[in-house]
Every structure is written in structure tokens, then in C-alpha cells.
Structure 1
Amino acid sequence: MYATELPSDASPRSTIPVELRAKGRLFVEALAAGGRTVRGAVEEAGPSRVRFPLSGRRGAALEGVLLNTGGGFAGGDSSHVRARACDGAHLVLTTQAAEKIYRSDGALTQLAVELEVRAGARLDWMPQATILFDRARVERSITAEVAGSGRLLLVEPLVLGRTASGETLRQGALFDSWRVRRDGRLIYADGLDLSGDLAAVLGRGAVMRHWAALATILLIAPDAESRLQPVRAALGIGEEATDGLPDGLEAGASAWNGILAVRLLARDGAGLDRAIRRIIRDLGVADPPRIWHS
């Protein structure tokens, strides 16, 4: 955790100098070798670390657990994660715990994720939830380059406020940008811009009606469209569903052109987590990371 003020400063509102902000950088590479996946190059800087626990190894996949030794991000901190699954490799990346974005004194927390999936490779990006504290200010970008025969799974949950403590997000900012390319061609672009009086914006019926948790699940794969009906059935939506959506959950799923996209909105983080696990199970393309059970 990084404080937003230096106690020795004479000014009551002076902030930590830029050179003292936390700047995390991480690069992870996975290689196929003898029917399994092994780690290739790994580069770490600042508070960013990755570990490959033996308990996470299942089948041919290599599971990496990302750690932030700073315990969270404050305004002005930054993180840049790059991951590459080389030809035929299967890399699973998750986080040790939910990532916390603390209140800011005005500066943005900047998070960048760059993913590359080469021919015949698989990359499952499945971090645990990112929790935004009230007055957090975040700018995040997720970019991915996927080969035509590659498979990319993105699971990104967000919780707005510390719901377990009764906190709601009233002020702050969230700028989120996703760009996915397949064989160099842009196939998916998404953006979210929330700022100012968030309590008023998030309270609208067409936005979040004061619910606190949301997630996007994106599958880029040659067979992605065939997964649509099982996912809709798992969520309780669509013509083949026998039960409706659970109380406190709204969901939608669509598929086109080798893409499956699922949107989730939940009253709280617990309900969101249950829905995500159900979807991953019924997708049949990934297992929940082992650390999720700890």
C-alpha cells in the first residue's frame, strides 16, 4: 500500500512526488515442450511478481499467479503486464487475491495489460476481482493479439466499493478500454467512461441501479459461437433455460464471428463470483484457477 501524503511535508495537501510512485512491470512467456507448457522468459520490476505453484499444474497448462507486493494501488501508481503464449502453449494467469484500488488525491492509477496468443496456443486471463474504493481514479487498457488458430479467454470482474463494509462508490473515475485483434485485424473494441458524481450515474436504472459488481467474459476461439447456448442455459437465460436468473443477477450473452461475449451485473461481489464460476464450468474451455479455492 502506498500512502497519498508524506507526513514530513509542510503543505497539508502535498502529494508523493512522481518518482516515488509504485511502477510495476511484468512480462511472462509460456512455451510448449513435450506435451506440456513450461515457463519461458520472465521479467519483473517494482511490486509486480509472478509465481508458478505446483498445485496449479493440471494437464498441459501452466498456471501463473500474479502478485502485487504493494498490497494495492493508490493514485499515481502504475502496472504494466505483458503475457505471451507461444505456439501450442497453454498459459493460465490469475491473481493471488482481489486487487484493491485505493482512494486517490487526484492522480490516476494506470493499469495496462497486453496479451499475445500465437498459433495453436491458449491463454486464459482470469484475475480475481478488482475492487475500487470510493474516490479511486483508474485508467485501464487491455489489448490482445490472437492468431487465427489461437484461443483467448478474458474474465474481468469489477466491484465498485467495499460492499462488505457497506461502502458505495460515490466519487471517482474509471476509464476502461479493450482492443482485441485476430491475425492483425481489429475484431473487438469496448470502452467504459465513468467519472464525477458516480452515485448518481450508477443509480440509474439503465446503468447499474446501485448494484455494485460487474464483469465481462470474452472468448476468442474458432468454436466460440458453439458455446453460446450452454452459457445461456447455465445463466438461466434464453429459450432452453429451465430456471430464470438468480435474484440479484442480470446477464446477457451473444456470439458472432468467432467471439463469445458475456456481460454480468450483480448486486454484490459474491453473486458475481458464483455466476463467473458457473459460466467457466459450462464453457468447457477452462478450469477455475486452483488458487480460487484457497
Structure 2
Amino acid sequence: MFATASPSEPASIPVERRGQGRLLVEARALDGRTVRGRIEEEGFARVRFPRSGRRGRALEAVMINTGGGLAGGDASQSCLVAGRDAQLVVTTQAAEKIYRSDGATSRIEVELVAEACASLHWLPQSTIVFDGARVERSIAAEVAPDARLLLVEPVILGRTARGERVSHGSLADRWRIRRDGRLIYADGLQLDGDIAATLDRRATAGGWAAFATLLLVAPDAEARLEAARGALGLDSGADDIAPATLPEGLDAGASSWDGMLSVRLLARDGAPLESAIRRVLGVLGVGEVPRIWHS
């Protein structure tokens, strides 16, 4: 007699078969350019450094998940270090997919370090969360007072281009940013259970399924606020959104304080979200997005 698990009752994956990935990338300055330092790869985690990705002094690293995504119970750990005077840009080969879980929770841990006079841009492609997925993600960063750190994290709930909708699951996101050892930014998101009902509320997402946070920590971060608001179509110098100028399918806000600039984006689907991210990056000092974004 044979039993086959139905889609509504996914079979449990044995612990020993769950994916584990660990990655360490260190970049260092050498003779006016940035080169690879120590590199460690484990499990499904890989990194490549395409020559086409080099931009002046910066080194571009492309992270690869050879497993094609994360399922229930998989774990990913990444440590990315831009050493003194180094310029490191990190992206991903493709959108990271978080698949439906059998009940176990996937975990993603990202550690970022920007040492003195360094620049570290964390620019992953979107994280796509499937219906029934369970994931916990943490991002921790340490930034030197004169360093530059840019984080961009887009999340799309379901493959919106196919009309998919996430109804249930769990998504927990935790950010902790420290400058010179002092906590300067803490953020958290928790979606659990009936996600669709939560997102349908006007006070949360109004039924839209794509969102992103962009955070710049840099000596010139606050001076870029007006340019960021202009790129989004917000009223210059005002906190209120100008609905007539915002692109269709996009809601946004930007603020700055204490050497930081934060941009929040909420979109109907992935297309207006990606367009807005590209516009904002242009005024945050990113001359050109990673080439792999075009593939």
C-alpha cells in the first residue's frame, strides 16, 4: 500500500537532508583598487566575481544558491566584509525563492561589516516568498563612522506576474545596524498566520504584495534626502506624499536622521517596485546597478 502526500499536506523533509549554506567574503584595498581577500564557501552557497561587474575601484560579488531556493528548515549564513578603504558591491544571481514549508522554518542570517573609509553595497535581487513559506531573516551590520553602507531588501509575496497570492505562512525580519559599536538602527517585521487578511487592511498594505526598504548609512546620507524624494515623486521638503506625482501602483516615503537615510516602498507588484528602486539608487550614489540585474 502506498501513500502520496497531497499538496495541502507536504511531506516532512528529514533534518539531515535540509540545506545548509555558509559564505564568507572579505574584500581589501590594494594599490587603488579592491581585490578579493579571504573567501569561504560551504554547502549550497557560492560566490563569483565577474569581470564585467567591476566598476572603477569597486569589486562586485555575485552570490549563488546552487539549491535554487530555500525550503522548510534550510539555513543560509553570509558574512560580507569590506576592509579599510575597500569598495564592495554584493548582489545575487537571481531572486531568492522561499518555498512552501512542511512546518519547519528557514533561516537567513546576513552579517555586514564596513571598516574605516570603506564602502559596502548590499544589493540582492528580490526575495520571493511562496504561499505557505516560513522564514526568519536577520541582518546585522557594523559600520565605521567614516564608512558607507547601503542596504536594499525587496520582498515580493508570491509570483505576482502569475497572479499568485500568499494567504498563509510566516515571515519575520530583523535588522540591527551599529556604527562604531553603537546601535543606531533597529527594525522588525512579523507576518504570521493569515497573511492575506493582514495585508488587505488599508493600514498595512491595502492588498499590495511587494515592498522594500533602502537604508543608507554614510556621512552624506542626510544630504541626499531631497534627491531621493524627488526620484520617487514626493513633494520636495515635505513629509506628505503627493499622490498626483507618485507612479501608478507605488506608495513611498523617505526620511533622514543621525547620518542615515531610509526609504520605504510599497507596490502593487514587483514591476513598479523594481522601477522605484532603480530610480532611488541613482541618487544614492550607485552609478549603475549590477549587470546581472539585466539578465
TM-score, L = length of structure 1: 0.94
Partner of 2:15: 18
Kept after mapping to 1: 8 A contact 2:81/2:114: yes
The count of residues paired between Structure 1 and Structure 2 equals 286
Kept after mapping to 2: 8 A contact 1:31/1:86: yes
Correspondence 1:1-294 to 2 at 5 A: 14-239=11-236, 244-294=245-295
For 1:96 and 1:13, the matched residues in 2 are separated by 28
> Which amino acid in the other structure matches residue 189 of structure 1?
A
Deviation track 1:218-272 (CA, whole Å, cap 9, x = no partner) reads 0000110000000001111023699610011000000000000000000010110
> Which amino acid in the other structure matches residue 253 of structure 1?
A
Deviation at 1:80, TM superposition (A): 0.2
For 1:119 and 1:28, the matched residues in 2 are separated by 17
For 1:29 and 1:286, the matched residues in 2 are separated by 23
Secondary structure at the residue paired with 1:194?
strand
Kept after mapping to 2: 8 A contact 1:233/1:240: no
Kept after mapping to 1: 8 A contact 2:171/2:191: yes
> Which amino acid in the other structure matches residue 192 of structure 1?
L
Alpha carbon RMSD of aligned pairs, Å?
A: 1.7
For 1:116 and 1:210, the matched residues in 2 are separated by 36
Partner of 1:3: none
For 1:206 and 1:197, the matched residues in 2 are separated by 16
Kept after mapping to 1: 8 A contact 2:106/2:134: yes
For 1:144 and 1:205, the matched residues in 2 are separated by 32
TM-score, L = length of structure 2: 0.94
For 1:286 and 1:174, the matched residues in 2 are separated by 32
Kept after mapping to 2: 8 A contact 1:80/1:113: yes
Q: Percent identity?
A: 63
The runs of 5 or more residues in structure 2 that have no matched partner are none
Deviation at 1:175, TM superposition (A): 0.5
For 2:251 and 2:13, the matched residues in 1 are separated by 41
Kept after mapping to 2: 8 A contact 1:49/1:66: yes
Deviation at 1:7, TM superposition (A): 7.5
> Which amino acid in the other structure matches residue 262 of structure 1?
V
For 1:190 and 1:69, the matched residues in 2 are separated by 30
For 1:62 and 1:24, the matched residues in 2 are separated by 22
Deviation track 1:62-97 (CA, whole Å, cap 9, x = no partner) reads 000000000011000010000000000000000011
For 1:276 and 1:145, the matched residues in 2 are separated by 24
For 2:4 and 2:23, the matched residues in 1 are separated by 31
For 1:73 and 1:223, the matched residues in 2 are separated by 37
1:116 and 1:98, CA in 2 relative to 1: closer, same or farther beyond 3 A? same
> Which amino acid in the other structure matches residue 62 of structure 2?
V
> Which amino acid in the other structure matches residue 109 of structure 2?
A
Kept after mapping to 2: 8 A contact 1:124/1:286: no
Deviation at 1:286, TM superposition (A): 4.8
Deviation at 1:290, TM superposition (A): 1.4
Kept after mapping to 2: 8 A contact 1:100/1:130: yes
> Which amino acid in the other structure matches residue 101 of structure 2?
S
For 1:157 and 1:7, the matched residues in 2 are separated by 36
For 2:287 and 2:255, the matched residues in 1 are separated by 19
